[in-house]
Structure 1
Amino acid sequence: MSKTAESVWNNCLAFIEDNITSQAYKTWFEPIKAVKLTDNALSIQVPSKFFYEWLEEHYVKILKVALTKELGQTAKLVYIIKMENTYGNKQPFTEKIPSSNRSNLQSQEVDVPLKNKSPELKNPFVIPGIRNVKIESQLNPNYNFESFLEGESNRLARSAGLAVANKPGGTSFNPLLIFGGVGLGKTHLGHAIGVDIKDKYPEKTVLYISAEKFTQQYIESVKKNNRNDFIHFYQIIDVLIVDDIQLLSGKAGTQDVFFHIFNHLHQNGKQVILTSDKAPVDMIDIEQRLLSRFKWGLSAELNHPDYDTRVAIIKNKLYRDGVEMPEDIVEFLANNIKTNIRELEGAIISLIAHSSFNKKEITIDLARKIVDNYVKHTKREVSIDYIQKVVSDYFQMDVDTLQSKTRKRHIVQARQLAMFFAKKFTKASLASIGSQIGQRDHATVLHACKTVDNLSTTDKQFRKYVEDLNKKLTL
């Protein structure tokens, strides 16, 4: 008996239903329709891009197992994304993935290989004959200029990014340092510049790397005694994008090697793009020679998006996911989530997911519930300065007293508590925490954290200090 798309998919569904929760099955698999079976490729229709991305992120492994059981190792899965969009266009809508939106297609077939889509970053310096090895850019094509909407809060940074993408290494924006708070789009913009450069200059070697990963690779190269290979690898890059450069704080060896790599790239007309959560002038425990180089080009700040930009971001996100939402709900979200773009997009995804799970329309009541819950559980970024102020106020002293050299017991304890909470609530290194709290070294901070842990278990009054301050810092 010859197999049909329906019979293959029904067998897959039977296997999947036995291996996931009934709620997940009803939400994510019952709405799918089998369309056709051609050359061992099963085409299935899903109702939105959001739906497709959710399946790929959460159920790709079980889909692979189910389809392989039915069609063998050469099985392929093709998604047909068919969705409705109501922004002035009543026609069925899809967008080509990952290129620009297109509204003139009835459906879009997306051939997705059944494999894990997040391969581990290859360690490039252990590969022999490195000059002949193709270097993967590590860029995310979904983070592009098209999805990075312009507004008052990001106009300078976005314009500078476009200029760099048009002429990498050939503008005065070298390095380009993009800085701003959490969730404002620094990483997105860094990727967008790299994606645009790869599109315009495919021959150029572009590499995105987080400062944390860069540090790990450097430590590994020292352990394996191939530091020179590490430096050489980074010196052959045409466009280097380093995310969260402030994480080099207090890491003298990593800063030294980055200094030499930076100099080589800059002197040879290569482009360097950096992101940071603070401006160069506010970076602690970064060598002055590095800070001076960060200031050679342009430092462009990303600020919190204004109301109009927030509305545009919501509408763009909905348009790209093929989801409709009433105007009053869009305005409600824009009015109530002001902190950053990441929170805004997260709330939209939560709203869509809740609507899908419960099979309910998106209403203002559902939006209010999601926003209340989302904002309440969103962890607020806490700075070391803020921690020192809260601790000082609690013990009725000023910050200068907290940071002073005095050995009076109550001041020492206050200082130790500030160090303890700085380690708990920030990503700063021990050296950076010590430097900001009275010019202490990392050993002092480590001792302070151990002291707080010990006293919390043996001293009832001290434990109350910890509990009270923890509440104040997490309100």
Structure 2
Amino acid sequence: MNNSAELVWSKCLTIIKDIVEWQHFKTWFEPIKPVELKGDVLLIQVPSQFFFEYLEENYVPLLANTLKRELGKNAKLEYRIIVDSGNKGKSGSMDIPAGPVKHYTNNEVNFPLVINNPVKNPFVIPGLKKMQIDPQLNPIYNFDTFLESDCNRVARRAGKTVAEKPGANSFNPLVIYGGVGLGKTHVAQAIGNEVKKMHPNKVVLYVSSEKFINQFQDHSRNNAINDFIHFYQLIDVLIIDDVQFFARAEKSQDAFFAIFNHLHQSGKQLVLTSDKAPKDLDGLQERLLSRFRWGLSADLMVPDYEARIEILKQKMYNDGLEMPQDVINYVAYNINTNVRELEGALISLLAQSSLNKREIDLELAKKVLRNFVKTSTKELTIDAIQKLVCEYFNVPYDRLLEKTRKREIVQARQISMYLAKTFTKNSLKNIGEHFGGRDHTTVIHSCQTVKDLMDTDSIFRENVVELTQKVQLAAI
């Protein structure tokens, strides 16, 4: 390597380091290698086509002024771009072939920048113009159709915050996780649709992890991995659905790692969904998992009885439908797995009513729900719930009814009341009588306390969720 080129570039870096932020300096200037100095022309090598384009867009004036200080007013900068050879992961460098030259003039310093072929769009839109990228969003997924409740409040509100200020918030990345049919895709796409509405110039893209993996494999076969990575690095808000499927694709994880780093460092927003919390994901690289934990992980839980009723009512309102309250209660009580099955039961009920020209009543609901409930559910009693909770916390049954302020007894009693209200049809007064003759206001206070603690205490929430599942199993 020409020592003069190395010396000139070293002096340039000394100046640049005092001007740009440290992280930007590490990202955009340290990787540059001086190659050759011929008179007033400095040849530098950059890692990729995207890297070159980013410098061209953001740092031409700074480079021009800096090089002018070192080489004089006739200074010129030329680029060599590393091109992936696609051969067993090796890479080599080549000078970009001669072609049309773009000149930037700043204080009499010209920068001839040779433009390579445009990056290919994996979503099959010819050329690469940012506003031509199809966000791959379904407009039916929005925040208006996603009812907020205790089971999803954190995820929904975090999603709204991200949509309002994408990339400029502390929830980056935002990881939304939960079981099947609880609304992960709905929230993720709602964020994308809200961003497009509030920030129309932002480039948004929603893609499933499976599609991402398939695209990567196609580009790998065509020796175009750089094009693939560079395309994704142009996105302002990237939404990846079901990241748990990256577990079977090691090389795709490497590509996503590069994309994640670039977007995060550039102040772009990442939204990820998963069936588990990042700490519980198996088969993903630790360096990826650590980055998933940089932002906020928000879970979606199974909606409780009251939330299921409200979901059904909203769905009916949106579709202009009516249904007797006792039927709504019956459906909400018996379909307690996820929102998708709840909506499926409602659609089946409406279809049966329409096809048979029959009014919707409790008898029809029982007939339809046989297809959704594996076995008939038995009526849960307050006593059965109390015994389950006592066994879970290893608390004597009679202590549950005593007037004591001992913390573990109070919490067991409050959770028992909460579950009794959720899973039985008893009145508040009747529930209170089963707990040593307490009144209905005590039951209301206990249920609210349980909901509040679930929002603030993760261990408490896990206990309630596990007990909820035990109660559901007991009803089968």
TM-score by length of 2: 0.53
Secondary structure in structure 2 of the residue aligned to 1:261: helix
Q: CA deviation at 1:129?
A: 3.0
Secondary structure in structure 1 of the residue aligned to 2:370: helix
Contact 1:153-1:303 at 8 Å conserved across structures: yes
CA–CA distance in 1 between the matches of 2:240 and 2:124? 21
CA–CA distance in 2 between the matches of 1:126 and 1:144? 26
Of 289, 292, 295, the match for 1:291: 289
Q: Which residue of 2 aligns with 1:228?
A: 226
Which runs of 5 or more structure 1 residues have no equivalent in the other structure? 1-121, 378-474
Contact 2:202-2:237 at 8 Å conserved across structures: yes
Contact 2:167-2:269 at 8 Å conserved across structures: yes
Which runs of 5 or more structure 2 residues have no equivalent in the other structure? 1-119, 376-475
Q: Which residue of 2 aligns with 1:170?
A: 168
Q: CA deviation at 1:376?
A: 2.7
1:183 aligns with 2:200: no
Q: Which residue of 2 aligns with 1:134?
A: 132
Give the direction of change, closer, same or farther, for the CA distance of 1:163–1:204 in structure 2 (3 Å limit): same
CA–CA distance in 2 between the matches of 1:139 and 1:125? 13
Secondary structure in structure 2 of the residue aligned to 1:150: coil
Secondary structure in structure 2 of the residue aligned to 1:375: coil
Alignment of 1:276-287 (within 5 A): 276-287=274-285
Q: Which residue of 2 aligns with 1:59?
A: none
Alignment of 1:84-95 (within 5 A): none
- Shifted more, 247-256 versus 132-141: the winner is 132-141
- Write the letter of the residue equivalent to 1:296: W
- Give aligned-pair identity as a percent: 59
Q: Which residue of 1 aligns with 2:415?
A: none
Q: CA deviation at 1:375?
A: 2.5
Contact 2:130-2:203 at 8 Å conserved across structures: no
Contact 2:121-2:128 at 8 Å conserved across structures: no
CA–CA distance in 1 between the matches of 2:124 and 2:131? 11
- Write the letter of the residue equivalent to 1:347: A
Alignment of 1:39-58 (within 5 A): none
- Write the letter of the residue equivalent to 2:372: Y
Secondary structure in structure 2 of the residue aligned to 1:353: helix
Q: CA deviation at 1:360?
A: 1.1
- Write the letter of the residue equivalent to 2:158: A
Give the direction of change, closer, same or farther, for the CA distance of 1:132–1:210 in structure 2 (3 Å limit): closer
Of 194, 201, 204, the match for 1:203: 201
Q: What's the RMSD between the two structures over aligned residues? A: 1.7
Q: Which residue of 2 aligns with 1:261?
A: 259
Q: Which residue of 2 aligns with 1:364?
A: 362
Q: CA deviation at 1:131?
A: 3.0
Q: Which residue of 2 aligns with 1:193?
A: 191
CA–CA distance in 1 between the matches of 2:150 and 2:124? 45
Q: Which residue of 1 aligns with 2:248?
A: 250
- Write the letter of the residue equivalent to 1:313: I
Which structure has the greater CA radius of gyration? 2
Q: CA deviation at 1:196?
A: 0.6
- Write the letter of the residue equivalent to 1:279: A
Q: Which residue of 1 aligns with 2:325?
A: 327
CA–CA distance in 2 between the matches of 1:324 and 1:125? 42
CA–CA distance in 2 between the matches of 1:249 and 1:146? 33
- Shifted more, 172-181 versus 355-364: the winner is 355-364
- Write the letter of the residue equivalent to 2:360: I
Secondary structure in structure 2 of the residue aligned to 1:216: helix
Q: CA deviation at 1:124?
A: 2.8
Give the direction of change, closer, same or farther, for the CA distance of 1:237–1:217 in structure 2 (3 Å limit): same
Q: CA deviation at 1:250?
A: 2.7
Q: Which residue of 2 aligns with 1:272?
A: 270
Q: Which residue of 2 aligns with 1:214?
A: 212
Secondary structure in structure 1 of the residue aligned to 2:371: helix
Q: Which residue of 2 aligns with 1:312?
A: 310
Contact 2:173-2:295 at 8 Å conserved across structures: yes
CA–CA distance in 1 between the matches of 2:183 and 2:274? 11
CA–CA distance in 2 between the matches of 1:239 and 1:186? 17
CA–CA distance in 1 between the matches of 2:373 and 2:167? 41
